Structure 1
């Protein structure tokens, strides 16, 4: 019985289907729809996804490639998280007009701020193209040949599948390559900032409260989609008009209660629910600890500077938040995987899997899958660790090195494709670096580099003899005192002239030469072998996924997240994170005051909000004299779901997804319905801040407020 119970919990389907899973909205009809109705949903699957008529999916937007947003008015008003719009809010901020500190509210459309490069993508339709993509693949012998054939087929289908001229076709893989689905999309390129609360509201609790419950964060910002006069996507123009959507979400102000049905609709980024135990063990014991240590060192340095200098705080606010986000997530993930005994659960499941293989007489086909996994994960260990060190140190957390690596890619482009390609990329590179150096501080970056380069040279495996010979105490000071990569003018001077002159200049620069040593070592000693073994692991994972579907035909396997449109459904519910501790599912403004620390950059509260709280001036948005702020539910979410709408049983907007509880961040790998909860800001708090705090009543008037519980 114990093995069977573990199997059910691990799969999270037969008993806990409503609490785990990220389902493709075009495939809800049947068992998913029936379960949603049993949980309290009052609409139908066709109301959620319909190709021929307007449906909820027409209001769900992939926000700038990384978050989710939703249309909440007939004039293209977009709601997403404050942290999703953080970079744009910061880019419009100066010391004189600090929108991060003070907030921003456009009181008319003329005041809405354009954001060059920002995009918003809408899903038009979804189509299964598996048979066409896998055509001619099965008879090929090597994995590399199979992947090449698949890519050729994908390219052909994307080119030939019917669409309008302004639309795009995008094919994504599901079930580890056992299914392929095509999405017809429309991408809007004129997205303007409409409103954002100050960080003391939109980021209340900052990094201390990140991934934590109870939460009191008004994590929202507002944008607007503009289109051409034909209502189709268009580049920015002052003549563009607000987009008229096929559907926008009505906003419920009736609130929520424990047990209420909830549905989150969005673009979850990546999950790995079907990894074997060997992979999870490597993540917990090797990869996560290394990445956590690197980011911990970087954050301590940046935080020290940000607390002392307001200009640096503005420069590094978005960068610090980005680095801290996954640093804290990895810590919680590792703790959760250990606490939930996920590795042993995986091993128990694998034992049951092998029994089913033997029972079905499939030993020849599937009997060696797990032993092959074990062999390959052992072989890839040092390469995976060295790869993570290179990415974390050279590409993500040391800015001069990341800039130098882009120039390294420029040199490789010249060698591969010649001078014309080099010149085209060079011009774009120079232009793109302008915004990079606007928020760059060489003094801060040098101190970060001192810590991170030392870690890299001490702990990364597979270093070349040349790197091992470097003096970690001197190399960073030499780079930052002599390299021209510490300023935008310096970088531009390195890129002046034809290709030969540029490459000659680059290869004299101390910073560039150090990056080149790191990159050359990666591409000679790490990357190729990692890719080779990982390709084999990918093939095993695809076969393992196929085998699980076959061995457990009654299991309901949702596809791992891959930044495609998904539905996850559940209920508003509290939870027990540990013995004798129970968390209620809703927080209120009283909790803001309990955390309030005057002058603290994480827990300060704006004077106007203090006055509203003191006077209990909550308008129509309070419940029993209390102002709700956030709530939690059992929806299975991940990165990319930030900004996703939380919908009630009727498809009305009740909240805005922005986080998960720390105890459950391992849900990307192992979902435990007892403790995994997603965190949402209550839509009533959003409306309260817009109306009573910002005085932007025109935005409220633009929405359609609903009272579903009074109907």
Structure 2
């Protein structure tokens, strides 16, 4: 135990900022950044202006929801984020008779705003270092599984103690591979409403052709509003609710930015992997990505075919397809980037250098060899069941009916235990969210498509190699010929959908309220299948816990070795907690003789117009362009209305919707994408090729003001605009 706490102390001292413009910095580390240098580059704020445990700072205006980021831009809870972050909310309100995805949406008054179904909003309240409490629960005699379970147990206890207020929700995050732990506390807002969304032909202009590509011309933004009960407490949607008044909101600068200007952003980046070992990168590159890409392509083809059968089905499947498209292109870019940059070889070389550095110190050399050898063996063992693990995860995530069944069945298993002994995600604190999910899932439920998706995955399960079979699936076709097996599978799947009652919200809620005996007695075919699958799923969970437990032992030791070698020039990988990073407006040169400027303009939107999706400029924008009434949004330096711009800010998935802020703390844009050439930035940031693409606030204001004449919205924003 003494050694564990000492290691934690050494690592905490060693992890000091590297001071390059890369890095997703913890807010509680801002004081360590070189603010004298940042001030010389154009920053006019001090660390407490950005974040302070006592006064909050601008960070209080930055929020997370829908898997992305947003920011408050008015005292009445108005939120600015990306169109693609709000996409599912827009899609869930879209019908054949009012397709808001296609035509856009504007609420001229608060009573016209539409609920963002299934969206919850999180406003940061505090950050607390709880490393001592977590590591204090460990000892060196623990097995890897015991280690994982001990961390899980103390984490649940810390969270339970911090969540006494029902309006608060907490998350305990691990940093530096398990060397440090922080408790993040949020105020949870459960009533979020749509205010303004541009049509698809603006918000997603260029579609998948332009996705991750520069030059870009998308107006990827949406406005929403947060609501609470009249007493200020969090509440589900109600007409009686009132607009939330945030402690902080961002003022808007319509003065614009230019090449070379200092900018920064705060947001909730999902995951980076810059501290991964070569063994994890090799597994990801050679095993995970090939399987992921093949599966995505096949599933996309299936869903696209289904979408063509009916416009209403196309609307329901659009959100899922958009997510599949996005990660398909990103993962393709990462694989290409690995080949182009030789990143795996560089990581192997880095580990060889690490070993050479400690070669003259026998104790350190042995420690280094032991850690790297253990990681090598750990990932070799993990690969042995990779295909089965992958497929089980996809089956339960992409087959709605099976997901309902496995979730409800697992809930009934866990409800038999005391709350703190349950698996995370199945505690009392998770009940309301699960009930809400069982309800909102109805909006996009397409049983006939879901049946085809389940059959698609079960047929894949039959093709798994020996040693990785899913026993619950094998039992369905035991002793049958290959031809008979496929027909038996089709008959089984058809029987599931014919006999189940999980297709209605009422029945799902009814089953969720049952105890295990009642649920099994219901004899629902999907519940019966979920019960049989549970053995396979539990084996995967246990193995994954052992694997994660081993990583919490090995990764901190590797981080300590790197810190000793690099003199502490490390920062923690992203993990969906709020981060700060800074940079400048900057062009880039992707290859020889090619240089891209850092701004695109409205004239470029018009030039791309083909009249056909995804380059179909809406009539309203064409008419406004012809009038040439630019208002104050024209930028003489680029001879046009700016649309999108480039910076060397450091982002990843989850940063979508992050406010891009100038040196005075004023919002100048909204980040929405990275560039294809910089795809490997999750693994290694390259200042020459890694770029963030953001929509310029002047384009947003031009559209709201001059194109769609959203008068109430522009009036609400006008008081916050600095020119």
TM-score for the superposition, normalised by structure 1:
0.88
Partner Cα distance (1:604, 1:330) in 2: 27
1:401 aligned partner: 402
Q: What is the CA RMSD across the aligned residues, in angstroms?
A: 3.3
Find 1:503's aligned residue among 520, 535, 560.
Answer: 520
1:473 aligns with 2:474: no
Are the structure 2 counterparts of residues 693 and 565 from structure 1 closer, same or farther at C-alpha, using a change threshold of 3 Å?
same
Larger displacement relative to structure 2 (124-133 or 260-269): 124-133
Are the structure 2 counterparts of residues 299 and 36 from structure 1 closer, same or farther at C-alpha, using a change threshold of 3 Å?
same
1:584 aligned partner: 597
Once the two structures are TM-superposed, the CA of residue 344 in structure 1 deviates from its matched residue by 0.8
1:455 aligned partner: 460
Equivalences for residues 253-292 of structure 1 within 5 A: 253-292=254-293
1:548 aligned partner: 562
- Residue 617 of structure 1 aligns to a residue whose secondary structure is coil
1:700 aligned partner: 714
2:608 aligned partner: 595
2:224 aligned partner: 223
**Structure 2 residues without counterparts, runs of 5 or longer:** 1-14
Are the structure 2 counterparts of residues 291 and 546 from structure 1 closer, same or farther at C-alpha, using a change threshold of 3 Å?
same
**8 Å contact kept, 2:134–2:151:** yes
1:660 aligns with 2:677: no
Once the two structures are TM-superposed, the CA of residue 637 in structure 1 deviates from its matched residue by 0.8
**8 Å contact kept, 1:68–1:80:** yes
Partner Cα distance (2:664, 2:449) in 1: 50
Larger displacement relative to structure 2 (182-191 or 460-469): 460-469
Partner Cα distance (1:270, 1:587) in 2: 29
- Residue 463 of structure 2 aligns to a residue whose secondary structure is helix
Find 1:61's aligned residue among 63, 67, 70.
Answer: 63
Partner Cα distance (2:645, 2:79) in 1: 21
Once the two structures are TM-superposed, the CA of residue 599 in structure 1 deviates from its matched residue by 3.7
Equivalences for residues 356-395 of structure 1 within 5 A: 356-359=357-360, 361-392=363-394, 394-395=395-396
1:604 aligned partner: 616
- Residue 604 of structure 1 aligns to a residue whose secondary structure is coil
Are the structure 2 counterparts of residues 480 and 532 from structure 1 closer, same or farther at C-alpha, using a change threshold of 3 Å?
same
2:5 aligned partner: none
Partner Cα distance (2:210, 2:648) in 1: 20
Are the structure 2 counterparts of residues 455 and 57 from structure 1 closer, same or farther at C-alpha, using a change threshold of 3 Å?
same
Partner Cα distance (1:695, 1:434) in 2: 36
Deviations 1:77-132 (A, max 9, x none): 11111111111111222111111111111101111223355322111232323233
**8 Å contact kept, 1:297–1:448:** no
Are the structure 2 counterparts of residues 257 and 429 from structure 1 closer, same or farther at C-alpha, using a change threshold of 3 Å?
closer
Once the two structures are TM-superposed, the CA of residue 249 in structure 1 deviates from its matched residue by 0.7
1:325 aligns with 2:362: no
Once the two structures are TM-superposed, the CA of residue 438 in structure 1 deviates from its matched residue by 3.5
1:574 aligned partner: 587
Aligned length: 687
Deviations 1:523-569 (A, max 9, x none): 34x443343234323421222122222332242x1111111111011
Are the structure 2 counterparts of residues 432 and 647 from structure 1 closer, same or farther at C-alpha, using a change threshold of 3 Å?
closer
Larger displacement relative to structure 2 (604-613 or 443-452): 443-452
Equivalences for residues 409-558 of structure 1 within 5 A: 409=410, 412-413=413-414, 432-459=437-464, 462-464=468-470, 467=473, 470=477, 471=482, 473-484=486-497, 500=517, 502-506=519-523, 509=525, 518-524=533-539, 526-555=540-569, 557-558=570-571
- Residue 670 of structure 2 aligns to a residue whose secondary structure is strand
Partner Cα distance (2:108, 2:167) in 1: 32
Are the structure 2 counterparts of residues 656 and 466 from structure 1 closer, same or farther at C-alpha, using a change threshold of 3 Å?
closer
**8 Å contact kept, 2:219–2:643:** yes
Partner Cα distance (2:31, 2:225) in 1: 32
**8 Å contact kept, 1:337–1:670:** no
- Residue 532 of structure 1 aligns to a residue whose secondary structure is helix
- Residue 636 of structure 1 aligns to a residue whose secondary structure is coil
Are the structure 2 counterparts of residues 93 and 464 from structure 1 closer, same or farther at C-alpha, using a change threshold of 3 Å?
closer
- Residue 269 of structure 1 aligns to a residue whose secondary structure is coil
Find 1:48's aligned residue among 47, 50, 56.
Answer: 50
**8 Å contact kept, 1:383–1:529:** no
Once the two structures are TM-superposed, the CA of residue 450 in structure 1 deviates from its matched residue by 4.6
Once the two structures are TM-superposed, the CA of residue 318 in structure 1 deviates from its matched residue by 1.0
**8 Å contact kept, 2:269–2:576:** yes
- Residue 698 of structure 2 aligns to a residue whose secondary structure is helix
Once the two structures are TM-superposed, the CA of residue 411 in structure 1 deviates from its matched residue by 6.0
**Structure 1 residues without counterparts, runs of 5 or longer:** 1-12
Deviations 1:311-333 (A, max 9, x none): 12111111111222222221111
Once the two structures are TM-superposed, the CA of residue 592 in structure 1 deviates from its matched residue by 2.2
Partner Cα distance (1:385, 1:77) in 2: 45
Larger displacement relative to structure 2 (226-235 or 591-600): 226-235
Equivalences for residues 4-83 of structure 1 within 5 A: 17-53=19-55, 55-64=57-66, 66-83=67-84
2:578 aligned partner: 565
TM-score for the superposition, normalised by structure 2:
0.87
2:12 aligned partner: none
Partner Cα distance (1:239, 1:411) in 2: 35
Are the structure 2 counterparts of residues 231 and 355 from structure 1 closer, same or farther at C-alpha, using a change threshold of 3 Å?
same
**8 Å contact kept, 1:384–1:530:** no
Partner Cα distance (1:295, 1:460) in 2: 20
Partner Cα distance (1:678, 1:528) in 2: 39
Partner Cα distance (2:317, 2:100) in 1: 14
1:118 aligned partner: 119
Once the two structures are TM-superposed, the CA of residue 370 in structure 1 deviates from its matched residue by 1.0
1:303 aligned partner: 304
1:6 aligned partner: none
1:3 aligned partner: none
Deviations 1:47-72 (A, max 9, x none): 101233352111111124x2111010
